[in-house]
Amino acid sequence: MSEHHPYPWPAASSTGVGSWPGEDPDEAVRTVLGELPDLPHLPELPGRGVGADLIGRTAGLLVEFPVEVQPSGWRAADTGGRDLHRARGFLSRDLDVLAEHAHSYEGALKVQVAGPWTMAASVELRNGQRMASDPGAYRDLAASHLEGVRAHIGQVRRRVPGARLLVQVDEPSLPAVLLGALPTASGYGRVRAVDRVRVEEVLRTLFDAVVAAGAVPAAHCCSADAPLNLLRRSGARALSLDAGLLDRRHDDMLGTAVEAGVGLLLGVVPGADPTPSEQARMSDPATSVEVVRELWNRLGFGPDLLARAVVPTPACGLAGASPQHARAALKAVRDGARVLRDEPRRP
């Protein structure tokens, strides 16, 4: 990256959010590399079951922080059990497949991990309460998570040494952590909101570690209440958002981010199999990215920056989609990226 081109991807790039349908990592990696040549991502396959889910996959990265699966979800344990072993096995297999198909790849490559606050909102203490309810617990979890992410970056780099890594930190639960909206174990109460200063401190420490490891930190939050200013101040160099949830109340925050050189990964096609009207929009690349062009016009930036700063993506992960739609979605975002590149040149 440079001051004049602060983005780790080439102009007119497109990518996926993370998850993919099915259970075959070989097919998933080959498809993603073929459909997203400028910014491929390591696909996640939660359809394989426990340990391949968002929380379990990242639980497998934790250092000296064993967890196990209970009927209510992932929970802290004295020793890691079979499910944690499965999670680590799934990820190891995925990295081996990535090395097989992309060892000589040179370019931007995205990997995804669940963020520390989504982990704290999802993993339980031994008493069944969420870790986000206990400052000591979420502090220990964040430290273990940071070490695990650092090691993961090293593992990916060893397998794809020519890649410029973009580390997407998935924080779908972050708004609930900040708003005090997480239910307690009983379901009758709510976990107290975590102080925003503490939230930002944990994220900044993580993002700084990602940069120190030679990668670029990004943050993904698929909520209309995504704390954009907090994520930017924490050091995220790209924000992954659902464009359909953005409106004028987000404009100032997005404008400030773009002025600071923060890239935008914007979801423009549905993550699930589309309705007929959505299918019609997907079939026309210009229509599929219309929401991005409207946003850009409101922000007031020049068209020459659009295709460099914005990367079209599906609106969310594709694990729940049919294989046919998943492939169509990647084609749609790739075609949409080309429209954003060519649009300023049209008379």
pLDDT at position 344 is 52
Query: Helix, strand, or coil here: 67?
Result: strand
Residue 78 lies in a domain: yes
Q: Is 8 within the bounds of a domain?
A: no
Residue 297 lies in a domain: yes
Our count of domains for the chain comes to 1
Q: Report yes or no on 14 lying in a domain.
A: no
In a domain, 2, yes or no: no
Instruction: Report the CATH number at residue 229.
Output: 3.20.20.210
Q: Where are the beta strands (DSSP E) in 71-191?
A: 73-76, 107-114, 163-170
Q: Report the chain's mean pLDDT, rounded to a whole number.
A: 95
- Range of 341's domain? 25-345
Q: Is residue 272 assigned to a domain?
A: yes
Burial class of residue 347 in the structure, from the number of CB atoms within 10 Å of its CB (0-12 exposed, 13-18 middle, 19+ buried): exposed
pLDDT digits (tens, 9 = 90+) for 246-289: 999 999 999 999 999 999 999 999 999 999 989 888 999 999 99
pLDDT tens for 107-160 read 999 999 999 999 999 999 999 999 999 999 999 999 999 999 999 999 999 999
pLDDT score at 179: 97
Q: Angle, to 10 degrees, between the axis of helix 82-102 and the axis of helix 135-159?
A: 30
29 neighbors 81 (Cβ within 8 angstroms): no
Quick check: is 282 in a domain? Answer: yes
Pairwise CA distance, residues 25 & 91, whole Å? 10
**Cα–Cα distance measured from residue 306 to residue 311, given in angstroms and rounded to the nearest whole number:** 9
The mean pLDDT value for 209-238 works out to 97
Residue 18 located in a structural domain: no
Cβ(202)–Cβ(141) below 8 Å: no
Q: How far is CA 37 from CA 10, 32, 65, 300, in A?
A: 10, 8, 36, 30
